[in-house]
A and B are shown apart, each in its own frame.
Chain A
């Protein structure tokens, strides 16, 4: 079993983000993405979508994806979030993107972080 380090030390008091947004005259965010892993993750998703969406006459195609549709079981709450994010991009940003394309972008971002060349044994050879 893997061990993880959990810091139980004291932290500074938290400032209420809603109060700060109001004080700065900012709009309330329509949705949020956990950006605590790095300050540019939300920025990257938006940029990835704008860079990769190509017009095909109908809904733009996400460049680099295949025609093949793979069936991936999703948790229902995740699908609801993906629909909410896609709706936000369509209605607020004017980016014509589907829930599936958001899922594709997020899966790509996470999978690309895994270096399979360092995997050894049967699992890697079986995938070839």
Chain B
């Protein structure tokens, strides 16, 4: 059935004060490393991730840990883990201003918690970081 669209300006109708944000950045923070070992200080990493997201979008939402799996390409073993998914609707100016902070966090998380890869979604696309920056 063909839709019959009704054009509205939601921001005006609902009294929103600025333009709508449309691009979502989602982080996936697992509780295990690439060998299936528990990550130490997970709460600290989760808190820091939310702080970074808040800087990029002026707020963040974190969902309860979900059942996740990751296939270790070297050992061919499936890592069964709990993954916390958190996201923010980015503010373009804040995002560009703080993208360096995001990079530093993602690479440090991958390096210090022995991740096979660190993944994130941005604007409907799924990205992987497999080579981490060296510690400064």
B129 with A5: CB separation less than 8 A: no
B78 with A50: CB separation less than 8 A: yes
In the assembled complex, the Cα of A93 lies from the Cα of B66 at a distance in Å of 21
Whose C-beta in chain A lies nearest to the C-beta of B131? A25
Given A14-B22, A27-B127, A94-B71: A6 touches B85 (CB 8 Å cut-off):
no
A24 with B99: CB separation less than 8 A: yes
Provide the residues of chain A in CB contact with B2, threshold 8 Å. 1
A1 with B92: CB separation less than 8 A: no
In the complex, per-residue mask of A65-99: 1 if CB is within 8 Å of any chain B CB, else 0: 00000000000000000000000000001110000
Total interface residues on A, CB under 8 Å, equals: 41
Whose C-beta in chain B lies nearest to the C-beta of A24? B103
Given A17-B122, A35-B124, A94-B73: A27 touches B130 (CB 8 Å cut-off):
yes
Of A38-46, A102-110, A114-122, which stretch is located at the interface?
A38-46
Q: How many Å from the CB of A31 to the closest CB on chain B?
A: 9
Q: How many Å from the CB of B100 to the closest CB on chain A?
A: 8
Whose C-beta in chain B lies nearest to the C-beta of A26? B127
Q: How many Å from the CB of B44 to the closest CB on chain A?
A: 21
Q: Which of A1, A6, A21, A42 contacts B1 (CB 8 A)?
A: A1
Q: Which of A12, A24, A27 contacts B19 (CB 8 A)?
A: A12
Provide the residues of chain A in CB contact with B71, threshold 8 Å. 50, 93-95
Q: How many Å from the CB of B71 to the closest CB on chain A?
A: 6
Q: How many Å from the CB of A28 to the closest CB on chain B?
A: 8
In the assembled complex, the Cα of A40 lies from the Cα of B7 at a distance in Å of 29
A29 with B68: CB separation less than 8 A: no
Given A24-B103, A40-B85, A43-B85: A34 touches B69 (CB 8 Å cut-off):
no
Provide the residues of chain A in CB contact with B127, threshold 8 Å. 21, 24, 26-29
Whose C-beta in chain B lies nearest to the C-beta of A39? B26
Provide the residues of chain B in CB contact with A95, threshold 8 Å. 71
Provide the residues of chain A in CB contact with B106, threshold 8 Å. 24
A-to-B contact residues, CB < 8 Å = 1-15, 17, 20-21, 23-29, 32-36, 39-40, 42-43, 46-47, 50-51, 93-95
Subset of 16 A-B contacts with CB under 8 Å:
A2-B3, A3-B4, A4-B6, A10-B11, A17-B123, A23-B100, A23-B103, A27-B128, A27-B130, A33-B126, A35-B26, A35-B121, A36-B24, A42-B121, A43-B66, A50-B78
The 6 closest A-B pairs by CB, nearest first: A26-B127, A6-B5, A9-B9, A4-B3, A9-B11, A10-B19
